[in-house]
Amino acid sequence: MAPPPLLRAVIMGPPGSGKGTISARIIKHFGLKHLSSGDLLRDNMQRKTEVGILAKSYIDQGRLIPDDIMTRLMLNELKGLDRYNWLLDGFPRTVAQAEALDKECQIDTVIDLDVPFETIKCRLTARWIHPTSGRVYNLEFSPPKVQGIDDITGEPLVQRDDDKPETVTKRLQAYDAQTKPVLEYYREKGLLKSFSGTETNKIWPHIYTFLQTKLPDVSQKDAATPR
């Protein structure tokens, strides 16, 4: 009997949409290899590879990393995953990257987290941290006992630049401008599956049900044998 075809999936969603949480659950339940462009970039910059040094020079200037550099980085990594089901996260970010990926492999499905920008703004701007320990508070879900003060040390909390309202707005606008055409590209190919909602825990069961039609749940001992 022929083995089931391998799944080639992409997950997309704006910063703060719960992509990290959802990706972790997909990996746990369905055993996909997770390839995050952000993780891969950080690793290459740390190891000072040729691509890492090049990418860092753009980041240091506050410029976007060109499509050809990102594509080279990701496609090179994918060569080692040709025998696995995988999930791409953070790539492709532009139509040019999506077209380059298409030349190398056939994408089966694109999971789009469609979370309202207002929800994301509330979520990210409510986050404050204690810089010394890295403790994170959320004014909505897990606020400090005293506003603006760390529970343990009594030291003041700060808001990361990334979480300040004006920065969050800019990040969301940039995502919208850059990534909407990519969503459209996959929608036209019939590969886009959007999941709308304001809470990760309510979106997840729908994604889980959808992926069960493609792969067995490997996190359960009595997982169904793939047919």
| pLDDT tens profile 6-25 | 999 999 999 889 998 999 99
* Beta strand spans in the chain (E): 8-12, 33-36, 86-89, 109-114, 127-130, 135-138, 192-196
Q: At what angle do helices 67-78 and 37-46 cross, to 10 degrees?
A: 90
**Marked catalytic residue, from 8, 25, 93, 123:** 93
64 carries a ligand binding annotation: yes
Confidence class for position 141, pLDDT limits 50, 70, 90: confident
pTM: 0.85
- The backbone region for 202, taken as left when phi is positive above 0, alpha when psi lies in -120 to 50, beta otherwise, is alpha
CB 84 within 8 A of CB 33: yes
Q: What is the pLDDT of residue 140?
A: 82
CATH class for the domain made up of 6-211: alpha beta
Q: How far is 106 from 12, CA to CA, in rounded Å?
A: 17
Q: What is the pLDDT of residue 224?
A: 45
* 87/134: higher pLDDT: 87
CB 108 within 8 A of CB 7: yes
Q: At what angle do helices 200-212 and 19-30 cross, to 10 degrees?
A: 30
Does the annotation count 171 as an active-site position?
yes
Q: Is pLDDT at 221 greater than 70 in this prediction?
A: no
- Rounded to a whole number of angstroms, the distance between the first and last alpha carbons of the chain is 9
The DSSP secondary structure of 64-77, one letter per residue, reads PPPHHHHHHHHHHH
16 carries a ligand binding annotation: yes
90 carries a ligand binding annotation: yes
Does the annotation count 202 as an active-site position?
no
**Marked catalytic residue, from 8, 25, 123, 127:** 127
200 carries a ligand binding annotation: yes
Q: How far is 191 from 171, CA to CA, in rounded Å?
A: 26
CB 11 within 8 A of CB 111: yes
Confidence class for position 64, pLDDT limits 50, 70, 90: confident
CB 15 within 8 A of CB 173: no
Structure tokens at 227: 């047919």
20 carries a ligand binding annotation: yes
Confidence class for position 202, pLDDT limits 50, 70, 90: very high
Does the annotation count 72 as an active-site position?
no
15 SS3 class: coil
Q: What is the pLDDT of residue 1?
A: 56
What are 89-132's pLDDT values in tens digits?
999 999 999 999 999 999 999 999 999 999 999 988 999 999 99
Tokens 């659950």, residue located: 25
**Marked catalytic residue, from 28, 160, 180, 202:** 160
Does the annotation count 160 as an active-site position?
yes
Q: What is the pLDDT of residue 47?
A: 95
- 63 by Cβ neighbours in 10 Å (0-12 / 13-18 / 19+) ranks as exposed
**Marked catalytic residue, from 8, 19, 25, 123:** 19
Q: How far is 10 from 185, CA to CA, in rounded Å?
A: 13
Does the annotation count 93 as an active-site position?
yes
Q: Is pLDDT at 148 greater than 70 in this prediction?
A: yes
93 carries a ligand binding annotation: yes
9 SS3 class: strand
User: What whole-number percentage of the chain has pLDDT above 90?
Assistant: 76
